[in-house]
Structure 1
Amino acid sequence: MEGIVVKAVGGFYNVRTDDNKMYQCKARGRFKQESLNIFVGDRVYFTQTNENEGVVEKVAPKKNRLVRPPIVNVETVIIFFSLKDPPINLLLLDRILVLAESNYLEPVICLNKIDLVKEEEIEAQEIYQSIGYSIILTSALTGQGVQQVKECLKDKISVFTGPSGSGKSTFLNRVQPALKLKVGKISSKTRRGKQTTRNVELLPFDFGGMVADSPGFSQLDLVDIQSDELPFLFPEFARISVNCKFSSCAHEHEPSCAVKEALERGEINQSRYKHYLVFLQELREMERSY
Structure 2
Amino acid sequence: MKGLIIKGIGGFYYVKTAEGVYQAKGRGIFKKDGITLAVGDNVDLEVLPDGDGVINTIEERKNHFIRPPIANVDCFIVVFAAAKPKPNFTVIDKFLIMAEQNGIDPILCINKCDLVSEEDLKEIQSIYASVYPVITASGKTGMGIDQLLRRIEGRKAAFAGPSGVGKSTITNLIIPEANMETGTVSQKTDRGRHTTRHVEIFEVLGGGFVFDTPGFTSFDILEAEEDDLADYYPEIAAYKGQCRFDDCRHKSEPGCKVLEAVNEGRIHKVRYESYLMNLEEIKKRKKY
Question: Could you state the TM-score of these two structures normalised by the residue count of structure 2?
Answer: 0.90
Aligned residues: 286
Q: Distance in 2 between matches of 1:33 and 1:67?
A: 17
CA contact (8 A) 2:5 2:15 kept: yes
Q: Does 1:245 align with 2:244?
A: yes
Deviates more, 1:28-37 or 1:214-223: 214-223
Secondary structure at 2:48's aligned position in 1? Answer: strand
2:90–2:277 contact (8 Å) kept in structure 1 = no
2:13 aligns to what? 13
Q: Distance in 1 between matches of 2:218 and 2:29?
A: 36
Contact 2:76 2:107 in 1 (8 A): yes
Q: Which runs of 5+ in 1 are unaligned?
A: none
Residue in structure 2 matched with residue 23 of structure 1 by the alignment: 22
1:179 offset after TM fit, Å?
A: 3.0
> Corresponding residue for 1:208?
207
TM-superposed CA distance for 1:141, in Å, is 1.7
Give the corresponding residue for 1:171: 170
Separation of aligned partners in 2, 1:12 and 1:166: 31
Q: Aligned-pair RMSD on alpha carbons?
A: 2.1
1:128 to partner: Cα distance: 0.5
Q: TM-score, normalised by structure 1?
A: 0.90
Q: What secondary structure sits across from 2:238 in the alignment?
A: helix
Cα distance between partner residues in 2 of 1:168 and 1:151: 18
Deviation of the 1:31 alpha carbon: 1.1
Q: Runs of 5+ in structure 2 lacking a partner?
A: none
2:59 maps to amino acid: A
Distance in 2 (CA, whole Å) between partners of 1:134 and 1:68 is 26
Deviation of 1:98 (Å): 0.7
Cα displacement (A) at 1:176: 3.5
Question: Within 1, Cα distance between the matches of 2:192 and 2:173?
Answer: 19
1:113-132: CA deviation from partner (whole Å, max 9, x where unpaired): 111111211222111003x2
Q: 59-68 vs 28-37, which deviates more?
A: 59-68
Identity of aligned residues (%): 40
* Cα deviations by residue, 1:150-205 (Å, 9 ceiling, x for unpaired): 11122221111112221112112222433322111111222211111122211122
Partners of 1:244 and 1:11 lie apart in 2 by: 52
Residue correspondence of structure 1 range 26-175 to structure 2 within 5 A: 26-122=25-121, 123-130=123-130, 132-175=131-174
CA distance in structure 1 between the partners assigned to 2:280 and 2:67 by the alignment? 21
Map 1:213-232 → 2, pairs under 5 A: 213-215=212-214, 217-223=217-223, 225-232=224-231
1:184-233 Cα shifts (integer Å, max 9, x gaps)? 1111222211111122211122432210122252335333x333221111
Q: Which moved further from structure 2: 9-18 or 23-32? A: 9-18
Worse overlay, 198-207 or 133-142? 198-207
User: In the TM superposition, what is the alpha-carbon distance from 1:45 to its structure 2 partner?
Assistant: 1.0
Query: Secondary structure of the residue that 2:240 maps to in structure 1?
Result: helix
Residue in 1 that maps onto 2:4: 4
The one-letter code sitting in structure 2 at the alignment partner of 1:218 is: S
